[in-house]
Structure 1
Amino acid sequence: MSGRDLFPTSLRLLGKPVLVVGAGRVAARRAQALLDAGAVVTVVAPAAGDGVARLADAGLLTWVRREYATEDLEGVWFAQTATGVPTVDARVAADAEERRVWCVNASDHEASAAWTPASARVDDVTIAVNAGGDPRRAKALKDAIVLALKTGRLPLRRHRRGAGLPAGQAAGRVALVGGGPGDVGLITVRGRQLLAEADVVVADRLGPRGLLEELPDSAAGGPRVVEVGKAPGAHQATQDEINRILVDEAQAGNVVVRLKGGDPYVLGRGGEEAEFCREHGVDVEVVPGVTSAISVPAAAGIPVTHRGLATGFSVVTGHDELAELPARPDHTIVLLMGVRRLWHSVKHLRQNGLAPETPVAIVENGWTPDQRVTIGTLGTIAEQAAAVGVANPAVIVVGDVVRVSPYAPANFREHLFSKTSGPGHDQPN
């Protein structure tokens, strides 16, 4: 027998009697799988291993303590041999064949009327793999498919509305997914999985756009993409309109992914969107993302805290809250969406007490091929930014941690040595 003459199918054995002949480790695994499928399992064997004995003691199956007899197949829908004795297994298989009962012969897969695939479940998806009678190969392939499903590498989108869901449960729901700072590899596994399930993706301008390119075209069964990106002075949709889109699409029965840059709850208005969905009876899941406030400085080699340099940091949007922040170079300030008001922010920081020599870095398009890093001081950074045409999306970092960046000028690095070798350099961070 080869794999070519197999007809792959799935059996619904709920409440149906099945027979397992043998009670060793293989029989225990097969019996457990049959029980998981809801079958009524009888095991025939004069002795049993721990696995079968435990199932029998728990009342989950019936163990008949004797050798196999042909009559054991009466009324059975399915049989599994696992005695480890080829002659006994062959006899069970022959008896089953005569009675038109499908039987898996564990001793001789070539002569077996049925094969048991390597199988697994991911949510409501069942994976079953046969590999030419090579169980280790089948298991390796099964495990690879499971991994691809769990990491969103395979399409999980339902094409039959409500398929696989409990009766009466609506399919429509919303997931607010933080896509990270831009690199497609920095989204979470859960975020990728939800994208693979999505009927509709409501996408931000600053989200990981490469992920959208990986999705199948809607004409080929992929999700519909709704663009709602915001740029300074050029909004494709207002926040109220975005909220309404999420609810309307979910109430139409769709799985909706709101793909946002960074983290949806860090200056991303995710809290407003989640609240609006819940107010309208829509189930919403929030998937955290790698926030640009920390990850974009890291792309330029800048830690927001560093032993001997900074033990805390603040994240703001570059507006009037600057006056409330600690005015010390050992407290890192991260400005998001701050390019347009950079001159204003520099003025406020200096008025608040930060010296003009305080290091500043601007990281544009972090984690993308277009990333650019501009480093200066509070006294020079505004003019530097204007000269090179710094533009959003960008993250601005203010504080001594900028000295750690490999992009920092040599004189910044020289000053770094005296900072990190002074008192307190052994304190934990």
Structure 2
Amino acid sequence: MGNDQPDPKNSAILLEASRCPWPVPQGLQVLALFSPAGEAESSNSARHYVVLGPERDSRLLALFSHLDVRRHYGRVWLVGFGPGDPSLMTIKAHRALSAAGVIFYDDLIDPAALARYRARRVYVGKRKGRSNGRQQAINRMLYEAAVKGETVVRLKGGDPFVLGRGGEELEYLERRFVAVEIVPGVTSALAAAADFGIPVTRRGMSRGLEIRTGHEACPDVRPGVCETSAYYMAASRLPELGRELIEEGFDPKLPVAIVEKASLPEKHCRITTVGSLDQGQAEAPALLLVGESVRFATRKPTLLYTGLSPYRFPGPERLVHYPLIRKAGKRNSDRNAGRRTKLIQPLPQARIDLGSFDGVVFTHELAVQQFLDIWGSLPGLVYATSRAVWRRLRRESGPFSIVCTGSARVLKQGRRPERPTR
């Protein structure tokens, strides 16, 4: 950004969407995406504007939420199917597929494995030698489906980020302000090793696993430039590891991601450099990712989602599922004995540190009470997805803001809420 622009670390600024930097610089976040009056449905990003401001500012997030057209966008899930055997697909991948409105699937995925899902299925397979143009078309299809409000699954063989061009799709969508979630899959290298009893690491023999593409050469083989290196169990010796990497030829300015408690609700990522590892500290379990690709790490507002399923939640934020309610069967409705409704009960959970979250999403009033029983008070920013939740939150006192989505959003705008779809 030019020197003539105000510092968004101390305020919110307005930019044309096409001028917004990507990745968004550390310490900043996109607060809202909006269009001039009468153009809210336009998909032309040049006619959209971005409000950019400091991260972790719940007041500004709440202030601009009613302008944000991303609240009507669907979410794209980049899902790893695994190496081929459907039984190696993860539970999280299955849940994403079950919630999807449309599935774009790859060449090496058996369509029969997708027959049980209700979503519309679109084959987008590619073959060597004619993939670049096809990839651009796939990117556009994912974007167009998302801005229509659909829940989109992009299903890839193996893992989306291991030689699967998932990073290109992530960049394409995030540059256009579409929320993307990643569901990792079992990569083929691990499946092949397991099939034939080959331990990829073994004490005294092999200290690590290097994954490379075999059909193209890398012009620069300097350490950390051509590959991304992962170092497991590194929390206790960050200074020593930093010195070792420099001795091996790694550039001291090469970016490093220190990831603690990966995939858990308390997960945390800190970006530093190889040369600064001697000053670093981490809490186990932690691993290091080292390489140029770490520069693409972005920070988005992160929400604790307390409902049953986060897969259809609209909006731009990153979600961490930590349910405070559960299904407990069905019961007859009091209004109509022939109708059966879901019975929801509170779900006991441990108290976790909420310091890395920007807000909490509530989909049921029982989750609000469960949250209060565990943490004692509401955080500075809460999201209500229904009228009942909105009313329950308004009964609480304290310095917090409410962002309304779904039927709660319609209620706040003064219109009669539509009956929610299942």
- Normalised TM-score (structure 2): 0.34
* Larger RCO: 1 or 2 (CA < 8 Å, sep 6+): 2
- Normalised TM-score (structure 1): 0.33
Higher helix share: 1
User: Which structure would you say has the larger Rg?
Assistant: 1
